[in-house]
Amino acid sequence: MKDRLRTLLESYDPQRIEGTSGPAAAVMVLMYEHSGEPHIVFQKRSELVLHHKGQVSFPGGAVDPEDLDLRVTALRETHEEMGVEPDHVDVLGQIDDIVTVTDFRVTPFVGWLNEYPYDFRYPPVEVAYLLEVPVPHLLDQRNFVPDRREINGEEVILPAYRFRDELIWGATARMLTNFLDLWSAVDPDSPPPPAATLAHRLSPPRRDTMQR
């Protein structure tokens, strides 16, 4: 499955957003396979952080001056926030940029953890705990919770996903939706992504009311 996903991402032309005044950032959609199922690792942010308290997100953050490129940013942040060594991640490609309500231009990368189980280590001041979510769970329509918002006087339905007592929403959910759309091409036996029926209403806006 990893090689099929790599092949797809190598041929995928991700939407890049240029010309924003805000800072650049990168996140990692970190995956592994366990018991024959692909999983994605999310983090639950602690209540001690300054911004986005208690929200579910991918590991990631703003570019540091010493980062050679956005790929390095995503790997560095994954190491800082989850304790994953950069050389333990096989970066398969990237998906569409988004711009957050705080004007960050976020570039998501997809990486595959080369070993599992893994000794994840995270700073409790930043991360409360990790969520290891099977991709089939995210593809299950019963776990898709459309988030209705009014933006510029128009109702827009944004994606959100339920996992146990947690809600994956906002910027993270929009990046996840892009990834799940691609995953359906990798695994033809998987159900269609739950947001597919809302695609015509999910395209606007790129700048949404969400975490980072």
Residues 6+ apart with CB under 8 A from 197: none
Q: Which amino acid is at 32?
A: Y
For the stretch 190-204, pLDDT in tens is 888 887 655 434 443
Residue 72 CB-density burial (10 A; 0-12 exposed, 13-18 middle, 19+ buried): middle
CA distances from 124 to 49, 121, 127 (A): 10, 9, 5
With a cut of 90, say whether residue 176 has pLDDT above it: yes
pLDDT for res 209: 37
Query: Which of 9, 10, 2 minimizes the C-alpha distance to 115?
Result: 2
Strand segments (E) across the chain:
24-34, 37-45, 56-57, 60-62, 89-94, 98-99, 105-113, 127-134, 147-151, 154-158, 161-163, 166-168
Residue 20 has pLDDT above 80, yes or no: no
Question: What digits encode the pLDDT tens for the residues 96-147?
Answer: 999 988 788 999 999 999 999 999 999 999 999 999 999 999 999 999 998 7
pLDDT at 51 over 80: no
User: Is the model's pLDDT at 66 over the cut of 70?
Assistant: yes
pLDDT of residue 157: 81
Q: How confident is the model at residue 210 (pLDDT cuts 50, 70, 90)?
A: very low
Mean pLDDT of 6-13: 96
180 three-class SS: helix
Kindly report the average pLDDT of the chain as a whole number.
Answer: 89
> By the 8 A CB rule, do 56 and 168 touch?
yes
Report d(CA 181, CA 126) in Å as an integer: 30
What is the average pLDDT across 9-30? Answer: 91
pLDDT of residue 167: 96
Does residue 172 register a pLDDT over 90? yes
Q: What is the pLDDT of residue 52?
A: 67
Taking residues 165-173, what's their average pLDDT?
94
Q: Give 50 or 190, the one with higher predicted confidence.
A: 190
Domain chopping of the chain, boundaries: 2-202
Q: What is the DSSP letter of 37?
A: E
CATH for 2-202 (3.30.70.1070, 3.90.79.10, 1.20.120.420, 3.40.50.410): 3.90.79.10
